[in-house]
Amino acid sequence: MFEVNRKKLVCLMIVSLMLAGCLQSHPDLDGDGIADLDDSDLDGDGWENLVEEECESDPLDSENVSDDLDEDRICDILDDDIDGDGWKNNSEIECNKNTMSNESFPKDTDGDGMCDYIDTDADGDGWMNNYEIECKVDHLNNSSFPDDIDEDGICDNIDLDTDGDGLFNNWEIERGLNPLDSKDYLICHGETYFCQRTYDNFTFPATHNSFATVGDGVMVGVNHYLGLDDQWNNGIRAFLLDVYHKSYEETDPDDIRFCHGTTSFFHPCQFGEVNAYEWLNNLTSLLNNSSGEIVTIFLENYISGEHLEILFNDTGILERSYSKNLNEEWPDIGDMIINGKDIVIFYQFQYENNFSWMNHAWTHSWDTPWDMRDIDDLTCELGRGDGTQQVWSMNNWIFSKYGLADSENSRIVNDYDFLLDRAISCWEKVGKRPTFIAVDYWEEGNLTNVTKTLNYMADWNL
């Protein structure tokens, strides 16, 4: 194809010369002894005819030659590296360099063929330039790279949790923990980051009439099958307790019992009682043998505050109880544990005297209605207490037609999907996660799994 075009070109030249009266027997434009018909470089300028055509220079004019800045015998029009500096023209343009000067060429620190100007990791050390700049190290030196103790890809200079233990640096520093030592940490309810949650921003599984169990020897008015040890081992950390004296005649501090009456005609403890001292001593022991747990006790109190004080003092609970100032926010769970205030006591009925080691339930919290007889009765509305308070209880049980705890109903309302959906719905409506979810027959359903799911959620829709 190219040979045919060349011959046509030569023929045209011969015809032109003939018409001009200049035709010789063997035309030789450049006088090189090669007839023009066979000469691949008619004008003898060192550039072949076809190349000159491609380079848009005149193949019949030796003074009209192709530009070749780097003298590589590739004209600039066709040369993808015009200045011969080893960088393609497009790359130099992209790298903001002069394509016409071999003294102006891109810098490629890591030799990966990508200039530093566009290379997101100019020194090839595995850290992006912007991170290294933010981390205040040289992004053009692969022996200078950010420190990253926990190897999470965030340099220590900007990592809010430098040692990767789940606790923010500032939180650790303020509490005397080492933010650079992943072995120096605090666990709360199984996770380090729960320690930074406030008490009111955590959901605790709770049992209604926690003591009223077959395991505790209660036979009438039972609310659960299994007693405290099993409740504890399955994650229950909030307990609703009715506290009385043993009988109308036995009203000394030693006579304090947990019991739950089923009729107004008899003393509440007549059909079953649990020794409050023994039960709470067991709770204290369980707490002592665990780490990073907060316990909450809700009292339906029918004895004097003075007797309650004796009870909680003798069982080692009084000194650990957290008393909240109504005008202050709830503290972080971790702070409560660090300060040895890992038990919160709420009491239902007010006393004339001030017992500051416990908190009046309906001043510091609120709950949803408790006397439910049908699933349709379950609501997120205010039942008792101050609805403006941040701590609130979602009561989740349905009484039988006789006003007793019902295992069949519990199986329905404690079902994982049902309970989780209700909790999330109430969270959305209230604008605050439930602090407590209290149930009957906790063994039926998935109370603790639901609270785990809720606690791993940042918001009701996340």
Say which DSSP state 242 is in: E
| pLDDT computed for residue 116 by the predictor | 73
Q: How far apart are the first and last CA of the chain?
A: 70
Rounded CA gap, 6 and 11, in Å? 9
SS (H, E, C) 317-361: CHHHECCCCCCCCCCEHHHHHHCCCCEEEEECCCCCCCCCCCEEH
Encode the chain (462 residues) as per-residue pLDDT tens digits: 445 455 555 555 655 655 555 445 578 776 677 776 776 666 666 676 777 777 767 777 777 777 777 767 888 777 777 677 777 777 776 676 676 666 666 777 777 877 777 777 878 888 787 878 878 877 777 777 788 899 898 888 889 999 999 999 999 999 999 999 999 999 999 999 999 999 999 999 999 999 999 999 888 889 999 999 999 999 999 999 999 999 999 999 999 999 987 666 788 898 889 999 999 999 999 999 999 999 999 999 999 999 999 999 999 999 999 999 999 999 999 999 999 999 999 999 999 888 999 999 999 999 999 999 999 999 999 999 999 999 999 999 999 988 889 999 999 999 999 999 999 999 999 999 999 999 999 999 999 999 999 999 999 998
Say which DSSP state 125 is in: S
Environment class of 169 (CB within 10 Å of its CB; exposed 0-12, middle 13-18, buried 19+): middle
Rounded CA gap, 235 and 206, in Å? 9
**Closest by CA position to 333, among listed 323, 343, 318:** 343
The amino acid at residue 192 is T
The amino acid at residue 377 is D
| pLDDT computed for residue 4 by the predictor | 47
**Closest by CA position to 102, among listed 76, 84, 116:** 84
Helix, strand, coil tally for the chain in percent (to 5) = 30, 10, 60
List the domains of the chain with CATH numbers: 2-54 (no CATH), 108-146 (no CATH), 156-184 (no CATH), 193-455 (3.20.20.190)
Question: And the tokens for 424?
Answer: 């999330």
At residue 132, φ and ψ (nearest 5 deg) are -65, -40
**Look-up of token digits 């409050």:** 276
**Look-up of token digits 């023009």:** 36
Chain-centre distance of CA 268, in angstroms? 48
Rounded CA gap, 63 and 1, in Å? 27
Chain-centre distance of CA 245, in angstroms? 49
**Closest by CA position to 211, among listed 259, 282, 266:** 259
Say which DSSP state 321 is in: B
- One DSSP character per residue, 289-313 reads TSSS--EEEEEEE-S-HHHHHHHHH
Rounded CA gap, 439 and 397, in Å? 5
CB atoms within 10 A of CB 52: 22
At residue 240, φ and ψ (nearest 5 deg) are -100, 120
Handedness of CA 394, 398, 403, 406 (dihedral sign): negative
